[in-house]
Amino acid sequence: MKLKELCLVGRGFSSEVLLKEDGKLTSFYTGLPNYGVLKAVFNLIEKKTLDTSIKLTKFQCFVLVLMKLRLNLANYDLGFRFCIHESTVSRIIINWIQMLDVSLSPLIIWPDKSEVQKTMPCCGVLGLIMVCQLRQL
């Protein structure tokens, strides 16, 4: 079957029902543990998103980007799965990555250098000391 025929019979991957029904599928494709978490993260960022695709919903675009990040699927493959052109996939990914950066970066808390040093494994600390001593020779 050709791409358009597959899309017309509803065999595209863009169905939210697939992810709702199978938690293992959701975890595999998105990296999030279940559909509830996937939907919660989407609801958190949905208001900050723009409609970047005519053919896909915002949720489908979100899932597409997560699949790219998790599995590094080729844009051609993602286009096939979501029944869109490869260049549309590229535009969606670029727009969404920029938006996710702005939306989610405030949620990431980086530890201070002293905290990192406190929790560094002993072998890491010893290796660092040995490298420093070798450089002094």
Buried b (16+ CB within 10 A) or exposed e, 39-64: bebbeebeeebeebbeebebbbbbbb
**For residue 84, pLDDT beyond 70:** yes
| Average confidence (pLDDT) over 73-98 | 94
Q: How far apart are CA 58 and CA 107, in angstroms?
A: 21
Report the pLDDT value the prediction gives residue 9, as an integer from 0 to 100. Answer: 47
Q: What is the pTM of this model?
A: 0.73
Q: What percent of the chain has pLDDT over 70?
A: 76
pLDDT of residue 8: 46
